[in-house]
Amino acid sequence: MTTDNRTTDEAAREAGVEVRPVAGYIGAEIAGVDLAAGLDDAVVAAIRAAVLRWKVVFFRGQRLDHAGHVAFARRFGPTVVLPRRGKASPPDFPEIETTADRLELGGRFGMEHDEWLRRRRHTLLRGWHCDHGARVDPPAATILRAETVPPYGGDTTWSNLAAAYAGLSAPLRQFVDGLRAEHRLGVGYQPRPGDDAYVRHLLDRQVASVHPLVRVHPETGERILYVNGYYVEQIAGLSRPESAAVLEMLLEQAVRPEYTVRFRWEPGSVAFWDNRATMHLAPSDTAHLDHPRIMHRVMLAGDVPVGVDGRASEPITGTAPGRW
């Protein structure tokens, strides 16, 4: 399947759904679909085409419960079952992770949540990430459903990494096409003085892989600038100062406003994004608000990225294709 506009438009017309782009390079709202109802193949094909074309699509006013969420996700591929989830996640639906679990993490390691976030986010771009990018086979897609959101704040932002790559100059595209980078869990974490339980956690459960800096999308054939601020440790073959300078430049390119879209959540909103071609930024403007934000996500199993030169990603530690 390609991202040709005609393919997307024809699929939508045949399915009787409306795809409304919301930004120039990324993001579209899909109307006329009840995700809780049984979707026919034409609607599924239209949604798939829109995700590939616009990288993230949004649905509003949906009435999905946990079972419906999982059933919808399975129309697009095998779902991921996480071996470890927090107590906020529904025990009877192992495919679903409830994001309120993230608020528990700091407390597990003897820190307030704010301190834990502060120690993890060492740069302004640190929060930008693709889901589970340190794995050798990151998820292909994520479907996130809003249950409860604050009356203001809490928006999520996505960036189109295919557009970011295409926006580089030709000499720079040629330079980065052949590079590879190490993606590692816990990059940039600032340890606490003395014993640090989170450092011990990272060492015991380390996950790291070497990915191409430019991956070829397995469905569209697009070249993707495969960087993010959360997992990328270093570009292989470059010195640390060289790597830091190149990564900073590429990350700044990837988050240029014209390549991004920001979504205002409402209860019943659903976002479905291509985790292979985007990175996203979770909100950081709700910690001081006295309002809950409860979201549920299901991820689709992904493949091992392949670079422009045909070389696949390689695991370093703690990861193997298909094993979570």
Q: Determine the Cα–Cα distance for residues 26 and 261; give it in Å rounded to an integer.
A: 6
> DSSP letter at 210?
E
CA dihedral 85, 89, 95, 96 (to 10 degrees): -120
Q: Determine the Cα–Cα distance for residues 101 and 105; give it in Å rounded to an integer.
A: 7
**Beta partners for residue 235, in sequence order:** 181
Q: Determine the Cα–Cα distance for residues 106 and 4; give it in Å rounded to an integer.
A: 44
Please pick, among 132, 145, 280, 293, the residue that the annotation labels catalytic: 280
- In degrees rounded to 5, what are phi and psi of residue 31? -115, 160
Please pick, among 131, 135, 180, 217, the residue that the annotation labels catalytic: 131
Q: Is 204 a catalytic residue?
A: no
Q: Is 131 a catalytic residue?
A: yes
Q: Is 183 a catalytic residue?
A: no
Q: How far is CA 64 from CA 191, 263, 296, in A?
A: 41, 19, 11
The residue type of 265 is: W
CA-nearest of 228, 63, 257, 58 to 143 is: 58
CA dihedral 269, 11, 34, 220 (to 10 degrees): -40
CA-nearest of 317, 268, 269, 324 to 299 is: 324
Please pick, among 48, 126, 129, 217, the residue that the annotation labels catalytic: 129
Q: Is 69 a catalytic residue?
A: no
Who's near 184: CB < 8 A, 6+ residues apart? Answer: 134, 206, 207, 208, 231, 233, 316
CA-nearest of 224, 168, 198 to 55 is: 224
Q: Which sequence positions are flagged as catalytic?
A: 129, 131, 280, 297
